[in-house]
Structure 1
Amino acid sequence: MASYHVRSNSLPSRQHPAIPEFNEQLCRLRASEATSSSASTSINCKLSGLQHLFDCLERSLLLPLNQQALSQEQHQKWIDQILDGSLRFLDICNIAKDSLLQTKESTQELQSTIRRKRGGNIELSSEVKKFLTSRKVVKKAIQKAVEQLKCIENNTFKKDNETIAIVSMLREVQGITLAIFESLLSFISGEKSKSKLGGWSFISSIMHHNRVEEESQLNDFSRVEAALKFLMSPKMKKSDSFAVENAQNQLENLELCIQDLQEGVENLFRRLIKTRVSLLNILSH
């Protein structure tokens, strides 16, 4: 996707400082999406960078000429599509929040069992099965969110040379938001995202889990699942305390990872609401 530059008669001749800042932040986010990473810090940086991009967009929306342009009737169809997309993003945020909370609660319950029993057969096995079952439920919810992303892509990203600059900015924001949500959902599902901007190959990855993965490709979620499956494996000896300790360490790491992701998703959720409200206010005047 080409770099975005604002050139429009709808904007003042002297660029507002938010415009070059917007372009710079957009380029950074695109670069981060082009670089695949299984680290939770990478996802958190993307979420934080996306919030910064929304801040730049918000300042651009305050410009009187932009507000005037957005309120014109001939641009209504584009604004309606953007508003529809923003509503779907809020739904996806809620799915992500629920998925993280459900996994966090299962993680804490399993940690408690391990601390009490240190691998005590029946109860531990039961809790591990509950955790893995919970993860299957989470992945089904993520598939629903994936379909939401497909709808946003299909409804919003048909190019039009006549689109005014501020609408182009809004659509660029939705495009990078879609890509980052793709990375987030892939991460929570325990899969490594294989797609680039605007790509959808990761859907088959989520729906058909590739069980042969290098350790370096696993993230915090998939490491826990791998450790627990090994713990329940017939090959694992009852006296193998290392496997139990490894599973406990991975669960502790996952809980910290989830806490960071929850904060990032919640902050982004509030940012999405703020931008949506700003657009609705502009249209109501």
Structure 2
Amino acid sequence: MACHLRSVSLPSKRHSNEAEIEDELQSLEASISSPSTTIDAMSKGLRRLGCVYNHIEEIIHLPSNQVCSAQQRKMLDGEMECSLELIDLCSAMQENFTELKTIIQDLQMVLWRGDDAASIQVKIQSFTRLSKKAQKQCKKISKKSTSDNEDCKLVRLLIKARTITISLLESTLCHLSQQLVVPKRSLVSKAFQKKRSVVCEEEQLQALMCITGDLEHGAEILFRRMIQSRVALLNNLSS
């Protein structure tokens, strides 16, 4: 999927490129916080954030963004630590999506064969536990310093991107958990009845499988881009 931001690498375009990134981050923030947001929008949001981090990496490489003060170094060192935690969280999210795909495949087999699905409840509960653990990680990282320092726009961009990434990942987990376990809204409808443990529509499960695959792919893109931007920042601090 094409990035929503234009690729600008010339130093003379630095300020306009920063403005584009800020606009994209504001758009993403509005999309995430909207009551009508969907899982599909969150999947697209992961890829959009991947593009944002790609452009942040370009800005890091600009000569004008070489670290030149002890204060800048201190702030960027703090973002280095936060970025590592965020990368770990994104990796955990990929594992969650993979686990969810396995659960969906098991549910499909139950539907096709009409088997008893008591074991599926255990797997759903396992996914819920993983989701709650990841949500706790989100809250922990979100408590990190979010100082708005006017003297270092790069730091401000990194903080804003980190904040929105955490919000998006946390919202995605909440929505997916609701899809599985909340009555009336669940893709597993009328779950665990007396004789048939799980009653669900094949097309609904297939739709959930597709969107989970999209989320997994989006998280993978975001994961790679965050690593690349972190490496660029590390090189900047080491130079």
TM-score of the aligned structures, taking structure 1 as reference length: 0.71
**In structure 2, do the counterparts of structure 1 residues 110 and 150 end up closer, same or farther at CA, with 3 Å as the change threshold?**
closer
Residue aligning to 2:134: 145
Q: What CA RMSD, in Å, does the superposition of the two structures yield over aligned residues?
A: 2.6
Aligned to 1:195: none
SS of 2:193's equivalent in the other structure is coil
Corresponding residue to 1:77 among 61, 74, 77:
74
Counterparts in 2 of 1:77 and 1:130: CA distance versus 1, 3 Å:
farther
Q: Which residue of 2 aligns with 1:173?
A: 161
Bigger-Rg structure (1/2) = 1
Please point out which of 216, 230, 233 is paired with 2:193: 233
Cα deviation for residue 270 of structure 1 reads 0.7
Task: Compute the displacement of 1:99 (Å).
Answer: 1.4
Matches within 5 A, 1:29-108: 29-37=28-36, 39-69=38-68, 72-108=69-105
> Per the alignment, in what secondary structure is the counterpart of residue 66 of structure 2?
helix
The structure showing larger relative contact order (alpha-carbon pairs under 8 Å, at least 6 residues apart) is 2
Distance in 2 between the 1:83 and 1:188 partners?
A: 30
**How far apart, in 2, do the equivalents of 1:34 and 1:254 lie?**
22
Q: Find out whether 1:283 has 2:234 as its counterpart.
A: no
- Structure 1 distance, partners of 2:210, 2:19, is 35
One-letter amino acid matched to 1:132: Q
1:255 maps to 209
> What letter corresponds to residue 145 of structure 2 in structure 1?
T
Contact map agreement 1:85 1:156 (CA 8 A) in 2: no
Amino acid corresponding to residue 170 of structure 1 in structure 2: L
Cα distance between partner residues in 1 of 2:16 and 2:154 = 15
Q: Match for residue 182 of structure 1? A: 170
**Structure 1: unaligned runs, 5 residues or longer:** 1-11, 193-208
> Once the 2 structures are TM-superposed, how far is the Cα of residue 187 of structure 1 from its aligned partner?
2.3
Provide the aligned length of Structure 1 versus Structure 2: 228
Secondary structure at 1:155 match in 2: coil
| Structure 2, unaligned runs of 5 or more | 1-10
Once residues 252 and 160 of structure 1 are traced to their aligned partners in structure 2, the CA distance between those partners, rounded to angstroms, is 44
CA 1:142–1:166: 2 relative to 1, 3 Å = same
1:134 match: 123
TM-score by length of 2: 0.83
Aligned residues with identical type, % of pairs: 29
